[in-house]
Amino acid sequence: MLGFVLRRLGFAVITLFAVLTLVFFVIRILPGDPTLVILGDQASAQSIALLRERMGLDQPVWLQYLQFLGGALRGDWGTSLVSGRPVIQEVLNVLPHTLELTFVALVLGVVLGLPAGIWAAVNRNRIPDYVTRIVSLLGLSAPAFVSGIVLLLVFSIMLRWFPVISGGQGTTLLDRARDLALPAINLALIMAAYVTRVTRSSMLEVLSQDYVRTAMAKGAPARAVVWRHALRNCLIPVVTVVGLYLGILIGNSVLTEIVFNRPGLGKLIVGALNQRDYTMLQGMMVIYTLIVVLVNLLTDLVYGFIDPRVQYK
Amino acid sequence: MSEPATTAAPRQRNEFLLVTGNALRFAGRAVTGHPTTLVGTIVFVTIVVLALLAPIIAPYDPVAQSIVNRLQGPSWAHWLGTDYYGRDILSRLLHGARYSLVIGIASISLAVVVGSLIGLVAGYFGGRIDIVIMQAMDVVLAFPALILGIILVAVLGASVTNIIIAIAFTAVPAFARIARAPVMALREREFVQAGRALGFSDLRIMFRHILPNIIPEIIVMASLWMATAVRTEASLAFIGLGIAPPTPTWGGMVREGFENILDSYSVALFPSLAVLVLVLALNLIGDGLRDAIDPKLGSAS
């Protein structure tokens, strides 16, 4: 077990290192001198030289690379070109909003998707199966901004049940919940679609196993067979996939935050793109890498705990 | 991971024609056997035809502005209404379909070629080459397509070519994986060993004897990833990383419509639905093809 954990940890570190290296060189290819972006076209040669020195751009590339790596690991990601505040501070300010949204959507998605998938599997090729298949395919076909706009049109603009702008600033719990509801539902529906499909196919696979047939043959009630014997085994692929789709969820949270005008990493990255805030973009790449690597590591470890066979690989 | 498509394993030389024929027969069976696949195919073909005919059938110039007609709802003159600049939404949708399709098809074609090559090489040679290549693929695959797309397009700049390259990049590992697994299994099969015994070169064995066997799986993967590609392109355009306006793209239209969503719902809604319909059609096709290749799963994903 320890060897397995260490191997996964090693892979996570290698991934992090590889992506950080990539980010460093990617930022160097970006068109335009960052000092010109900060100071504008009218800047004098002296002030440019001064700023280059201050930003460390006059040093050899390998030294810049080491400083970048050290800084990234220590949490020193430079200062935003637009606001002048430390990038890490800006990121940490909005990170809770994104995490809150993603976490609630994840839980909601599993709560909706798991029973739906099981329901479809036990009713294979009957009406519940067809309905869940079509609905889940619709869910995973809809880009997050499309489902978000439809939800916004129906529930905020036509029915006026929810605020048009989900500020996420509510002080009372009820306010927060109202702000969170539509964006979370939007993300959760996509998550539920994926979970439903994986649960269904995994359950079908398990239900065709010999031990399920034996349980049925000895006269165990179908309900008990599904929930007690089959469910635990069908969860293994579901967990992997939930981890895998957490990444998709993070991607979709960008679109959701824009549609519902909710603070978070998504709005931050779009703002940085529009204002050509390169240091901020660099910080965003680092934070997304960190999140993705962490999520994958956790998924691998959970997978190892659920499925004892993994250890022997 | 499903079994390699051994039903398509060739026994004679000139496997390519044979297997391509098999793949086509698979596709035929998938389309006629499942009503949902048939619907998906009809919708997709319709969108392609409409996109091809866009310059002829579009009632208006997609970029012609008309300030007096701005933000109108659907009417007989403008079936789907007009946008903020008074441009006809239907005409812009028809022209926009071209960009969605071109970017989807081109990026996935690129990913299929590059990814399959990488997977073939990794699976065929195995050992250290395999480990290094597949670890690198895993790193890329760990990233959500949209995040990777945002980063790449932000760096490269938003042009048609760059968007195609960025989306292709996100899909390459998927094809490398799909190509690698069957290659590893096929490497030990009799017809490949026979080829080696006859002194065929690695290249010849890879391309003439192994590649045709993995074509059906690649086709399935391609249709499913094209759905993702279309969705990613629209999402990028919605974020503001699409082809520059006034060129009509579906995601860009949604972006513009979203800014005035309180005044007129139609500008944002119709292109949104267009994206949904195209992606859904592609997913229906991919699902049906997968069932045809691997019938035991019965539309399991």
pLDDT confidence tier of residue B86, bands split at 50, 70 and 90: confident
Check the CA dihedral B282-B288-B293-B294 and report its sign. Answer: positive
Judged by a CB distance cut-off of 8 A, whether residue B206 touches chain A is: no
Q: Give the nearest partner residue to A149 out of B154, B269, B279, using CB atoms.
A: B269
Q: Who has greater pLDDT, B148 or B28?
A: B148
Chain B residue whose CA is closest to A153: B265
CA distance A65 to chain B (A): 18
A292/B300 Cβ within 8 A: no
Q: Give the nearest partner residue to A250 out of B144, B265, B301, using CB atoms.
A: B144
pLDDT at res. A75? 77
Cβ-in-10-Å burial (0-12, 13-18, 19+) of B259 comes to exposed
B239/A270 Cβ within 8 A: yes
pLDDT at res. B299? 41
Chain B residue whose CA is closest to A286: B151
Judged by a CB distance cut-off of 8 A, whether residue A157 touches chain B is: yes
B154/A259 Cβ within 8 A: no
Cis omega before residue A96 (within 30°)?
A: no
pLDDT tens profile A151-173:
988 888 888 787 776 665 666 77
In chain B, % of residues over pLDDT 90: 28
User: Identity (one letter) of the amino acid at B174?
Assistant: A
Q: Who has greater pLDDT, B87 or B294?
A: B87
Q: In angstroms, rounded to a whole number, what is the distance separating the alpha carbons of residues A75 and A103? A: 24
pLDDT at res. A35? 66
Average model confidence (pLDDT) across chain B: 81
pLDDT at res. B115? 94
Judged by a CB distance cut-off of 8 A, whether residue B139 touches chain A is: yes
Judged by a CB distance cut-off of 8 A, whether residue B268 touches chain A is: yes
Q: Is the pLDDT of residue B180 over 70?
A: yes
Please say whether the beta carbons of B272 and A146 come within 8 A.
Answer: yes
Q: Is the pLDDT of residue B193 over 50?
A: yes
Range with the poorest average pLDDT among A29-33, B95-99, B137-141, B221-225:
A29-33
CA distance B23 to chain A (A): 24
pLDDT tens profile B211-234:
887 888 888 889 889 999 999 999
Q: Which domains does chain A have, with CATH numbers?
A: 2-86 (no CATH), 88-306 (1.10.3720.10)
Q: Give the nearest partner residue to A143 out of B234, B240, B258, using CB atoms.
A: B234
pLDDT at res. B236? 93
CA distance A141 to chain B (A): 5
**Residue B88 pairs with which residues in a beta bridge?**
B82
Inter-helix orientation angle B211-239/B266-293, to 10°: 170
pLDDT confidence tier of residue B262, bands split at 50, 70 and 90: confident
Q: Give the nearest partner residue to A149 out of B146, B268, B279, using CB atoms.
A: B268
Quick one: which H or E segment has residue B216?
A: helix B211-239
A289 φ, ψ (degrees, to nearest 5):
-60, -45
Q: Is the pLDDT of residue B301 over 50?
A: no
pLDDT at res. A34? 62
Q: Who has greater pLDDT, B235 or A232?
A: B235
Task: Return all residues near B4 (Cβ < 8 A) that are at least 6 apart.
Answer: B181, B182, B185, B186, B213, B214, B217
B238/A255 Cβ within 8 A: yes
Please say whether the beta carbons of B122 and B130 come within 8 A.
Answer: yes
Measured between its terminal Cα atoms, the distance across chain B in Å is 10
pLDDT at res. B23? 65
Judged by a CB distance cut-off of 8 A, whether residue B92 touches chain A is: no
Contact list, A142 vs chain B (CB under 8 Å): 276, 279
Q: Give the nearest partner residue to B272 out of A30, A149, A252, using CB atoms.
A: A149
pLDDT at res. B250? 92
For the entire predicted model, the pTM comes to 0.83
Quick one: three-class SS letters along chain A? CHHHHHHHHHHHHHHHHHHHHHHHHHHHHCCCCHHHHHHCCCCCHHHHHHHHHHHCCCCCHHHHHHHHHHHHHHCCCCECCCCCCEHHHHHHHHHHHHHHHHHHHHHHHHHHHHHHHHHHHHCCCCHHHHHHHHHHHHHHHCCHHHHHHHHHHHHHHHCCCCCCCCCCCCCCHHHHHHHHHHHHHHHHHHHHHHHHHHHHHHHHHHHCCHHHHHHHHCCCCHHHHHHHHHHHHHHHHHHHHHHHHHHHHHHHHHHHHHHCCCCCHHHHHHHHHHCCCHHHHHHHHHHHHHHHHHHHHHHHHHHHHHCHHHHHC
Contact list, B269 vs chain A (CB under 8 Å): 149-150, 153
| Residue ranges in chain A modelled with pLDDT below 70 | 1, 27-43, 52, 54-58, 165-171, 307-313
Which of B100, B152, B153, B155 to substitute to test the interface with A, most A CBs within 10 Å?
B155
pLDDT tens profile B52-69:
988 888 787 887 777 777
Q: Which domains does chain B have, with CATH numbers?
A: 13-300 (1.10.3720.10)
Please say whether the beta carbons of B47 and B281 come within 8 A.
Answer: yes
Distances (CA, A) of A243 to A230, A234, A236, B146: 21, 15, 11, 16
Average pLDDT over residues B260-266: 81
Please list, residue by residue across A155-173, b when 16 or more beta carbons sit within 10 angstroms of its beta carbon and e when fewer do: bbeeeeebbeebebeeeee
Q: In angstroms, rounded to a whole number, what is the distance separating the alpha carbons of residues B178 and B118? A: 10
A138/B142 Cβ within 8 A: no
Q: Give the nearest partner residue to A18 out of B139, B272, B276, using CB atoms.
A: B139
pLDDT at res. B21? 67
Q: Is the pLDDT of residue B3 over 50?
A: no
Contact list, B146 vs chain A (CB under 8 Å): 248, 251-252, 254-255
pLDDT at res. A107? 92
CA distance A172 to chain B (A): 28
Contact list, B273 vs chain A (CB under 8 Å): 146
Q: Is the pLDDT of residue B295 over 60?
A: no
Which of B146, B250, B265 to substitute to test the interface with A, most A CBs within 10 Å?
B146
Average model confidence (pLDDT) across chain A: 81
Q: Is the pLDDT of residue B36 over 60?
A: yes
pLDDT confidence tier of residue B300, bands split at 50, 70 and 90: very low
Range with the poorest average pLDDT among B9-13, B16-20, B113-117:
B9-13
pLDDT at res. A307? 67
Residue A125 zone, left/alpha/beta (φ > 0; ψ -120 to 50; rest): left
pLDDT confidence tier of residue B9, bands split at 50, 70 and 90: very low
pLDDT confidence tier of residue B20, bands split at 50, 70 and 90: low
Inter-helix orientation angle A144-151/A231-259, to 10°: 70
